[in-house]
Chains A and B, each alone.
Chain A
Amino acid sequence: MTNWNVSLLAPEIVLSVCALLIMLLDPPLRRKRLAGFSESVALVGFLGALFLGLMRIGLPVDSSFGGFLIADALSTYLHILFAVIGLSVLIMSIPWLRRDGVRQTEFLVLLIFAVIGMMIMSCSAEMVTMFIGLELLSLPLYVLAGYLRNRERTIEASLKYFLLGAFASALLLMGIALQWGTYGTLHLSSVAPGSGAAPLSLPLAAAGFWLVVVGLGFKVSAVPFHFWTADVYEGSPTPVTALMSTGTKAAAMAVLLRLMSAGFAPAAIEWMPVLWWLAVLTMSVGNLMALVQANIKRMLAFSGIAHAGYLLLAICAGGTAGNAALLFYLAGYTVMNLGAFAIVGLLEGKGERFQSIYDYSGLAKRNPWLAAMMTIFLLSLAGIPATVGFMGKFFIFTETLKAGHIGLVVIALLNSLVSVYYYLRVIYLMYMKDEWGEKPVCRVPASVGILLAFTTLVTLWLGVAPNRLLDALMAAARIF
């Protein structure tokens, strides 16, 4: 008897209802000049999803829809993470929507659907649902990337993102088709060499596996599938960039984690060398390219690629502790990136004019608080002690060492050293240089102020006392 427990989908359902409410009620209410309706509904939706996610903590593993849906600690953790991401991006985008006078109804609806897609990805136990979730996440992002379609950079970013995303989807689908064809099942726990399911054809199964990895590699922007990242991040509106760099990466990483540590774990000997090189390339290319960027969003894009490399390192490490380290780093990366992008969004000004790192010269005199918080985020991204970035790297590197990949850790440490340079350069400009050109005074809306305070506190708190979260994540790290 199939189990149709719909309650496991409660966060997704709440968010969908909110999106539908916005679409249905916004046009009549706008005529009555009831401002702020859509934002409030979206806010309620994300808060509700967050609450429902928190309610699930500690409940036993459950599955529904005939095993297509799995509600384990990992999916609960990711639901909470995605609700936080959605909430933060919402808070960041409201001042931006007002500032640039952009239509907001569709923006909010697409934002909500993208977050639902991430949630579906995180709780699907099988590849068809996972793929549809990925599309539900990608399609709104293609549109959001080009939301200001009159701007040349934005519409180019959107087209580029769409074509490469659709291409990656086609590769991923071919991988899924070959997996299904050779194993006859698509459950993440059972598609694997040596997992009992006898493949029709081993070479085709291997080809299918690699195509799936390539398809997901595009989404986490691992080198050599990263070439779209900087252009798209630079061209998209800043809140959308924040969503891409945190949400998409986390969702794709989570799927990769489920695949590698459950279904594909027995074949680790075969994929480990390739993943090893993938991690090394991703870290090194990301960090080296970030050195020469003059645009803050491009710099953060390449820094995001480098961080994807560290996350791949954790997948190489494997094991429950390695997975926990990955999930911890994911939380840290999300928080510090959200904070950094929130500040970039505030400072860029109307029409996104001030995005060069030289526009940050003398920020400490103009906006001492913003400069201080940006410093904390950048130091955390660089992995300086007493921040979450340091703790995350520390856990990942230790686990990788324990797994015996000494070379990998040495390369990662060298990479971290290189990365300190370009993060410190921005801090140097903020504190040591005089203002460069005339800048308007930046006023911080209260909502964004709260978001910034929250992300700063979490960055520091997790950097000092990481153990409670890490212990909680050990439960989430036991997959299947």
Chain B
Amino acid sequence: MFDYNHALILAFMLFTLGTAGVLLRRSALVVFMSIELMLNAVNLVLVVFSRLRGDLDGQVICFFIMAVAAAEAAVGLAIIIAFFKRKKHVDLDRASLLRS
């Protein structure tokens, strides 16, 4: 059996990668994908702890997270499409109209 600590480390590395993606990338789509990466890291943490604790609740919470991710994806992508229709790009750095 492999070391569960390493699975946790993997999850935290993925989470950090996702956070870095959110903060560094300019394309709204890639930022959103990075957020999905973060959510998956959360799921991995839950599965590892679920296994460690012998409690299925963790996996049930994963199920909810997936449902939320799906709902967010539907709304978020629709917003990105509307944004693109209006502005012809999805570049967050150029979306600075509101910045004072």
Q: Interface residues, chain A, CB within 8 Å of chain B?
A: 128, 131-132, 135, 139, 142-143, 146, 149-150, 152-153, 155-160, 162-163, 166-167, 169-171, 173-174, 176-178, 180-182, 184, 200, 230-231, 234-235, 293, 298
Contacts and interface: CB of A to CB of B under 8 A. Distances in A.
Given A143-B79, A159-B28, A166-B76, A180 B58 contact: yes
Contacts of B80: 159
Contact of B61 (A128, A160, A166, A231): A128
Interface residues of chain B: helix, strand, loop or mixed (majority): helix
Contacts of B95: 156, 159-160
Interface residues of chain A: helix, strand, loop or mixed (majority): helix
B32 A166 contact: yes
A167 B46 CA distance: 18
Nearest to B22: A167
Contact of B98 (A149, A163, A235): A235
Q: Give the top 10 A-B pairs by smallest Cβ distance, nearest first.
A: A181-B49, A231-B98, A170-B38, A149-B82, A177-B45, A173-B42, A177-B42, A166-B35, A159-B83, A177-B46
A384 B49 CA distance: 53
Interface size class of B (residues with CB under 8 A): 35 or more
B62 to A, nearest CB: 9
Interface string B42-57: 1001101100110101
Contacts of B46: 177, 180-181
B86 A178 contact: no
Nearest to B99: A231
Contacts of B78: 143
Contacts of B45: 174, 177-178, 181
Contact of B41 (A132, A157, A174, A182): A174
Contacts of B72: 135, 139, 166, 169
A114 to B, nearest CB: 13
A298 B38 contact: no
